[in-house]
Chain A
Amino acid sequence: MSGFDETKLDDADETVRVRFVVNGRKVACEVAPRETLVDCLRNTLELTGTHAGCEMGACGACLVQLDGRAVHSCLMFAVQADGANISTIEGLTESGVIADLQAEFHRRNALQCGFCTPGMLVNAQELLSQVAQPSRGEIRDALSGNYCRCTGYEAIVDAIDAVAKARSEGGGTT
């Protein structure tokens, strides 16, 4: 029997109050220091559109926008996000900023099980906000941290490519 250190659990039981803006609304919640942002979003805030795939930043399923940039919510503790402005797939959907990407993914069936899709969309939006007209190679490179087991990726690349062209020609989305 190893000596069980009671204080260790007391620490784990302690919670910290964090505040963020999530999908445009101010949110305050009590989180354990060890709680990751993805768990806080999914469990406490019930934003289950963000997914946990590998819990080590390799698969991209947990990507959210944090202060405007795509961030792995599995690699951050919730306390680290205190004060941040966070958009998840739910917020990006409601605001309509990725409606063109979603429509193009749908039209081309650039998803099957859909588990990687929210992360793919967050990363696609990130790419298109950085590079107006990426080549197919650049799109594939940009997605190099987004794992999809179902599609084989080509339709995803096609969809992002088509939206990049449409945004460049049409002057962006509403």
Chain B
Amino acid sequence: MSAPLTSLDRPNSYIGRSVPRPNAKRLLAGRGRYISDLRLPRMLYAAFLRSPHAHAKIVSINADEARTLEGVHLVAIGTDLAKICTPWIGTLDHFKGMTSAPQLPLPLDRVVWAGQAVVAVVAESRAIAEDALELIEVDYEDLPVVVDIDSARDAGGPVINPGSANNTCFRALLDNGTVDHAFAHAAHVVEEEFSFGRHTAVTLEPRAIVADYDPAAGALTVHHATQTPYQFQDLYSRHYGIPEARVRVIATDIGGSFGMKLHVYHEDMAVVGLSILLGRPVKYVADRIESFVSDIHARDHRVHARMALDAKGEILAMDVLDLTAIGAFSTYPRTSVVEGNQVIRLMGAPYRFKNYRATLEVIFQNKVQTSQYRAVGHPIACAVTERLVDMAAAKVGLDPFAIRAQNVIADDAYPQTSPTGYRFEALSHQACLKRLHEMMDYDALRAEQADLRKRGVYRGIGIAAFVEITNPSPAFYGVGGARISSQDGAILSLTPSGEVRCLISVTEQGQGTEAIISQIVADQLGIAQEHVKIITGDTEVTPHGGATWACRGAGIGGETALRATRVLKRNILEIAALILQERPSALDIVNGEVVDAGTRNQRMPISEIARIAYFRSDTLPPGTQAQLTVSHHFAPQGYPFAFTNGIQGCSLEVDVETGFIKLLKHFIVEDCGRVINPMLVDEQLRGGIVQGLGAALFEECRYSETGQLVNGSLAEYLVPMPMEMPDIVIAHVETPTADTVLGAKGVGEAGTAAASACVLNAVNDALSPFDATINSIPITPTKVLKTLKRF
């Protein structure tokens, strides 16, 4: 490269360097410590009897026989837990007019989805608890079931929540510019109805929790496989009336989360109550079937959208209606309307147009709740926008790259405010688009496609530009009244032997949080990474913070670590300056040694400063109090979100005889600002893309007309497996945010955001010779054959 030296040539330069995760070695040796592995003394096991009905009145519950079974310690029903747990309501104040019924760990008189936990049994083993479930009789009286969007919206149809006028949870309207005028005067209008099935996170480790209430101490410890221990500390404290300081939540290793494990689940709340009732540790691990019927699902949207363009293909306006069905309740405490809200606000995000109108309608139905799962709302907004752009390109006679190049917001035109209300600091659509074109060897792919078509082979090429929301400020949840922090905290200590301990509120789910935090600390202090120990996931020891979600670990957690480290470094150098009789500014730290800032000559190791400060403070000048532990909090300011952007491309082949789709190659150019660990960023992108590809082709929670989930196992619910997935080619553009010193933004959702849009466009491209289109996800072989009129 042209520059003689980069910042990576400095000693201890870890920001921007691909280093393996120190904590991954344990996992490779089978020494992970997952909550599902945990066994405590006197621990009991919970199992739940679940509703076989999607909507029914509970007439009676007879658990007498179960109670007498040897090994059973407790059988609890709704009223038992309602005595000690206050109800929760999944609404946020800033979603005006939003409603949702109060929820309790177990229902009192009515079930609202098939699979809802009704009775809890606690026994000496899970097997005994399950034996006892078989002895419980529940008498139900069927109520009318609402399972699809249309019947939920029927005026005069069944209403899920008694006392409500209809099944509407929330409605929102955005209207900016002059939409009707734009459509009336447009040269081209494209319009389509899209549907997006339900899918779910399918973490390989199901939800797991061990609640351990000590009545003598009045203290609750919950070992909880969650992303957000502080949020749960607050919730357990408030709903069970235990002082916050006596509630400890520990999140150790966690077998995947992806947003799914940061919601309140009825079983989890119940397990806490069961432990309180028994005064003993109670463990619950969902089995796979329970996961499918009780983990949050995601998506479930029907979108009607149209786009207006001028004669040259300039986008003038978009008009969108998003109907989304969320289950019988809105999820607590983050609600089930954030996804829809982000759908209508991310529409058209890469493009320069002024006129936008959207209606969001969030609807109750008798299914398990939907809520935030990786890339909340993004895949919907991206697929709708990008498909309309492709349809427009075909109508105007432009190549998909050309119409995007013409319409994306120019890289030098920032800051910008979108017609949906988002403020973009700086994005790089033009650079990404150009890079993708080169990386895909687009012209060669098109030539190959044309050749193969002559031989009856139908390949498709699709691209999809996206904008991702990361680093959320209090505008996300705090303003709505949720006690979910947007700030993070770190406590950093120089240990007596000159190493560094960092306790930080962001958490690890395998994405490499601890690795990147140790990289930042080592880099900023000037020591080797192996001398930095990171501790996360325990409310008793780490400071309060938002933890890891919405791609905030690197951008907010990383900035917190950076600033804390700079304070610690200043404190270390102040002591060093006293000892060396220098000005602090004349000194620096390199490789664990205090050096002359100018010459880099070594003066003394920081371990010596630690030794003197901790053990020989008598040798320091009178009045000196060394502060070798610092705490620091950082809350994002400036832009309410750090938006990122990128573009994906893919090449695939559609077998028009069978409807099967073979993914050939996937591409992404992504801009997440400052890259801290390129290898980990690439792995986030790959994992995210594959989740998006699963959604595109395979994953769907399918329900019967009576509201039964009919494919709730890993044999019937299709997830992406290795032989179906393509290799993924990755490139980066780096546009750091100026809101932080570090400049990092998030990257966890970028892959998922556009992968399904990309596939949707590629499949439609492949089908173009047949005058057949698909606008429904997942794109199953059946849908392909149906549109080809071969099924």
Contact = CB atoms under 8 A, between A and B. Distances in A.
A111 interface: yes
Interface stretch (B24-32, B265-273, B776-784): B24-32
Interface string B654-693: 0000000000000000000000000110010011111100
Contacts of B255: 51, 113-115
A155 B20 contact: no
B24 A111 contact: yes
Interface string B52-79: 0000000000100100011000000000
Interface string A2-21: 10100001001000000000
A152 B510 contact: no
Given A111-B28, A112-B511, A115-B34, A9 B687 contact: no
B31 to A, nearest CB: 7
Interface centre among A51, A106, A150 (most CB of B within 10 A): A150
B579 interface: no
A114 B69 contact: no
B204 A59 contact: yes
List the 9 closest A-B pairs by CB distance, nearest first: A49-B30, A114-B27, A89-B30, A115-B255, A112-B510, A152-B686, A113-B510, A152-B690, A48-B37
Contacts of B137: 1-2
For A1, A90, A153, which residue has the most chain B Cβ atoms within 10 angstroms?
A: A153
Interface string A139-158: 11101111111111111110
Contacts of A4: 65, 135
A148 B510 CA distance: 12
Given A4-B65, A114-B28, 18 more contacts: A4-B135, A43-B39, A54-B713, A58-B714, A61-B204, A105-B24, A109-B21, A109-B679, A112-B509, A113-B253, A115-B32, A116-B204, A143-B723, A150-B687, A151-B690, A153-B725, A155-B683, A156-B722
Contact of B20 (A48, A51, A109, A148): A109
A32 interface: yes
Interface string A66-98: 000000000000000000000011100100000
23 contacts: A1-B62, A4-B65, A35-B127, A48-B30, A51-B34, A53-B205, A56-B288, A59-B714, A102-B29, A106-B24, A109-B680, A111-B24, A112-B687, A113-B27, A114-B26, A117-B27, A118-B30, A139-B722, A143-B721, A152-B688, A152-B690, A153-B722, A155-B683
B534 interface: no
B392 interface: no
Nearest to B26: A114
A121 B722 contact: no
A107 interface: yes
Contact of B24 (A2, A53, A114): A114
Interface in B255-279: 255-258
Contacts of A140: 722-723, 725
A147 B720 CA distance: 8
B31 A49 contact: yes
B68 to A, nearest CB: 10
Contacts of B131: 9, 12
Contacts of A165: none
Contact of B510 (A102, A111, A143, A147): A111
A115 B688 CA distance: 17
Contacts of A151: 683, 686-687, 690
B254 interface: yes
A111 B202 CA distance: 17
A55 B722 contact: no
A34 interface: yes
A147 B722 CA distance: 8
A2 B136 CA distance: 10
A155 B205 CA distance: 20
A117 B23 CA distance: 14
Interface size class of B (residues with CB under 8 A): 35 or more
Contacts of A121: 28
B562 interface: no
Contacts of A55: 287-288
B686 A154 contact: yes
A125 interface: no
A49 B288 contact: no
A126 to B, nearest CB: 14
A5 to B, nearest CB: 11
Interface in B467-514: 509-512
Interface residues of A, number: 61
B725 A56 contact: no
B441 interface: no
Q: For B69, B512, B722, which residue has the most chain A Cβ atoms within 10 angstroms?
A: B722
A55 B36 CA distance: 14
Contacts of B28: 93, 102, 105-106, 111, 114, 117, 121
Contacts of A137: 723
Contacts of B723: 137, 140-141, 143-144
A50 interface: yes
A40 B70 CA distance: 22
Contacts of B29: 49, 89-90, 93, 102
> Which of A35, A102, A105, A148 has its CB near the most chain B CB atoms (within 10 A)?
A148
Nearest to A156: B722
Nearest to B125: A43
A51 B728 contact: no
Question: Most chain-B CB neighbours within 10 Å: which of A42, A113, A153?
Answer: A113
B205 A113 contact: yes
Interface in B163-205: 201-205
Contacts of B725: 140, 152-154
A2 to B, nearest CB: 8
A148 B204 contact: yes
Contacts of A155: 683, 686
B719 interface: yes
A157 B751 CA distance: 19
B444 interface: no
Residue from B27, B65, B131, B715 with most neighbouring chain A CB atoms (10 Å): B27
Nearest to A32: B127
Given A1-B137, A112-B687, A144 B288 contact: no
Contacts of A34: 127
Contacts of B69: 9
Nearest to A13: B70
B714 A93 contact: no
Contacts of B34: 48, 51, 115
Contacts of B9: none
Contacts of B715: 54, 56, 58
Given A51-B205, A88-B30, A113 B689 contact: no
A149 B202 contact: yes
B683 A109 contact: yes
